Structure 1
Amino acid sequence: MSRIVCKFGGSSVADAGQFKKIKNIVSSDAKRKVVVVSAPGKRNPKETKLTDLLYSTYDLASKHLDFSQPWNLIRNRYLEICSDLGIEPKVAEDLDILEKQLRDDVESITTDYLVSRGEYLSARVMSVYLGAEFVDTFPIITFDEKYRILPSSYETIAKALSDENKLYVLPGFYGSNTRGELKTFSRGGSDITGAILANAIDAETYENWTDVSGMLMADPRIVENPLPIEYVSYREIRELAYSGASVLHDESIAPCRAKKIPINIRNTNRPEDAGTIIGPTPESTKLPITGVAGRKGFSMIYIEKSMMNKEVGFGRRVLAVLESEGLSYELCPSAIDSMSIVVDTKKLEAVEHVVMEDITQQMHPDRIKIFKGISLIATVGHGMTNKIGVAAKLFTALAENQVNVRIIDQGSSQINIITGVDEDDMNKAIKAIYDAFTK
């Protein structure tokens, strides 16, 4: 039987009421056999995330300070969920053991281990509530120092989840390094866990349940009532995620893409909504663009030198300066006698003086200047490919809305056009582009 992997984010496990919604969702489809959960999220805007409470607890405990305040909030949260669900897993016992260890032997606990207990305990509670088998992701998910999953992990996972008729619950967010130590992924890493499991068991679908009904064509804080995205390709989602438009951790795409497993973004609070499907490149599209998104916080290093194009290795040597300071670049548009390098402003500021001095000494430019306050806007869509007039429509919309374009970059794949504008114009630009292609 083909199985569905379901990952439920922090908002989906925030309290007992959300646990009950998950039970209804899982029981409504017999194929939903593998459930991955995050740590309980915030129940209201004023509340602190449980993961952050765990970080605070470790910080205090490692300094041998009183950690009772954050710890009691953590403890009460789990016990309240259990009480409201009418179940009695050994959560209180696990918490007591952890507390004693923090007080008496904190050096034996790593930050990653303590923080991972948010997902671990959430999964233990969920497994009891669903009557499912609990399987710990440590150590069945193993990765190297660059967080690349070892191929052997997929075989280990497949064996651990081999019974297709059984319901499994696993914690997200962590696994094991090659030294056998528990290590967490970056924040939002439960998305990655679900994708790895989906790949390992050749899942039919990977459902990612959150608090939104899929993706929208634009940020609703910028565009009023933007259209939903019904389908987006793996390639498109990478482009949009680059500009911060994704509700999914970008590293969770690769494991599913490798086996062409569709990812379905769903809403735990509105399970009747179809959500957004992320899958292979579609044969046809309804609109020229799939979405538009923007991100602030960039600077452009502008370098001008006569006969630059005749100077072999000029660009390589400029980029080598950035590399020596640990600075990566976003875009690198160039002309015959000039080149521009777009970089993250915060990262640049830490090494700005050294970068400018080294480029000046090594490259002897006629002019070098840094322009700050730039936003990058990605307009993405397979419908743009080989279609005459798309770029004209985009730049006409920006011109009509008095937006000055500082940077233009279109990939050879033709599924994206990136424009750089002043940060103050970003929202206006996104709205202009969205309106031009949807109205």
Structure 2
Amino acid sequence: MKVCKFGGTSVADAQQLKKVASIIREDPSRKVIVVSAPGKRFDGDTKVTDLLIDLAEAALAGQDTVPALQKVVDRYAQIAADLGLDSEIMAIIAADLAGRLSFSKENPSLFFDQLKASGEDNSAKLVAAYLTAIGLKAEYINPKNAGLVVTEAPARVQALPVSNDNLSALRYKNSISVFPGFFGFTKDGELRTFDRGGSDITGSILAAAIGADLYENFTDVDCVFAANPRIVENPAEIELMTYREMRELSYAGFAVLHDEALMPAFKASVPVCIKNTNNPGAQGTMIVAERDYSKRPVTGISADSGFSTLYVSKYLMNREVGFGRKLLQILEDENVSYEHIPSGIDNLSVIIRSHQLTPEKEFRIVSRVKTELNADDVHLNSNFSMVVLVGEGMKYTTGLAARATEAISRTGANIEMINQGSSEVSLVFGVLQKDEQKILKELYNEFFAPSYAL
């Protein structure tokens, strides 16, 4: 049995949905289908999720919602008409949207979430209706009824263990289950959405719960590449990689798969395959627990921007018990998480995602570190990127870090920070954002040029 997730581009219009139906029809083991909201049909188009955000903002601002609502309805209506579906499905979708707009606005965040989630929810209803219309036995599955139970606010949205038992029942259905991605419900019935790329997470949760033989994540690329093809020309294709490698690359900017999506599949030992809806015959990229790393110790190179560095210096910091805990407590009080903490004996740097910061937060953090920790020097700098080398074989390869730093030096850029986790699966370089692309290209040439053994 396979779980298949189809992203926004795969369900963007009727032509794409016909491809999805063909993929499902050709393999009877594809029994659980997870769908995103309809994405962009062409460059410059607007995703349904963005249309729903506009609709939610208009409703919360007390504005006329008719124009924004009509844009959402029109997108679904166009797909339904092009698929030859009758008016029944559009009546269901229109009624659903009307009901969500009447939802209490007392908690704007909850109102926003339940309206955004309609993108995936109504997409699933439409896909189930189309599969049924072409003779496949398919059923829309409501996540609440199926038992996808998630954590209560304010905790991050994660599926609770009880979800596994609830969702395992889908394995025994005789029909194709069409499940909306992106959201679940708390024990009290409150709808909560996963983070960006949440449909990937839903697919992984379902694959683990039903004990799938394979989780196929269909997107708009043939495979995962060793580097961003928008930066590096014709990068190498990755045929096989481990969960840890994909997790590290996703964290550092690979947009193919959400970085949280692998954990449920990993824990349940469900292999994952990245495939292309537009070219389903392509081999794709398999993600498994272990691989032979002797042929190529470095699997991929990724980069992500939007980081800030909190630099803290204090003489004899290393002898002060509790200094790190107190520093992290200040960040926790500001609801700020950290990414890396490279340190020396008298100083340390805390790497933070810049989107978590505001000028007010920055001022409070710096002021508190100065006054409460008596730091000699404290300052925050922004516009950093993290460039990451990833590979299971890196820790067994002598001189790899030296080759990487030499490659970066050839670009004329400065390395602001170096960090390597205890697993040695990744090597992270903090650099100025303006140098990110040239560093990425040079590292790719160093480790993936034709002379580098495959």
Tell me the TM-score normalized by structure 1: 0.93
Q: Is the 8 A contact 1:89 1:124 kept in 2?
A: no
Q: Which amino acid aligns with 2:382?
A: K
Q: Which residue of 1 aligns with 2:302?
A: 293
1:143 to 123, 127, 150: 150
Q: CA deviation at 1:320?
A: 2.6
Structure 1 pair 274/318, CA: closer, same or farther in 2 (3 Å)?
Answer: same
The correspondence of residues 24-423 of structure 1 with structure 2, limited to 5 A, is: 24-88=22-86, 90-98=88-96, 101=99, 105-107=102-104, 110-131=111-132, 132-140=138-146, 141-145=148-152, 146=155, 147-163=157-173, 165-348=174-357, 349-423=359-433
Structure 1 pair 255/106, CA: closer, same or farther in 2 (3 Å)?
Answer: closer
Looking at structure 2, the residues matched to 230 and 89 of structure 1 have their Cα atoms a distance apart, in angstroms, of 44
Q: Is the 8 A contact 1:139 1:175 kept in 2?
A: no
Unpaired runs of at least 5, structure 1: none
Bigger mean CA deviation after superposition, 289-298 or 13-22: 289-298
Looking at structure 2, the residues matched to 394 and 199 of structure 1 have their Cα atoms a distance apart, in angstroms, of 37
Tell me the TM-score normalized by structure 2: 0.90
Q: Is the 8 A contact 2:100 2:114 kept in 1?
A: no
| CA-to-aligned-CA distance 1:29-64 (integer Å, 9 cap, x gap) | 221111111111111222221122223223334455
Structure 1 pair 166/340, CA: closer, same or farther in 2 (3 Å)?
Answer: same
Look up the SS of the partner of 1:329 in the other structure: coil
Look up the SS of the partner of 2:396 in the other structure: coil
Bigger mean CA deviation after superposition, 14-23 or 127-136: 127-136
Q: Which residue of 1 aligns with 2:6?
A: 8
Looking at structure 2, the residues matched to 308 and 102 of structure 1 have their Cα atoms a distance apart, in angstroms, of 54
Q: Which amino acid aligns with 1:431?
A: K
- Alpha-carbon RMSD across the aligned residues, in angstroms, is 2.1
Q: Is the 8 A contact 1:217 1:290 kept in 2?
A: yes
Q: Which amino acid aligns with 2:200?
A: D
Looking at structure 2, the residues matched to 76 and 306 of structure 1 have their Cα atoms a distance apart, in angstroms, of 64
Q: Is the 8 A contact 1:208 1:264 kept in 2?
A: yes
Bigger mean CA deviation after superposition, 140-149 or 106-115: 106-115
Q: Which amino acid aligns with 1:359?
A: V
Q: CA deviation at 1:142?
A: 1.0
Looking at structure 1, the residues matched to 446 and 82 of structure 2 have their Cα atoms a distance apart, in angstroms, of 50
Provide the identity percentage. Answer: 40
Q: Is the 8 A contact 1:10 1:40 kept in 2?
A: yes
Looking at structure 2, the residues matched to 95 and 268 of structure 1 have their Cα atoms a distance apart, in angstroms, of 25
| CA-to-aligned-CA distance 1:4-30 (integer Å, 9 cap, x gap) | 111111110111111110111111222
| CA-to-aligned-CA distance 1:363-384 (integer Å, 9 cap, x gap) | 3333333333322111110121
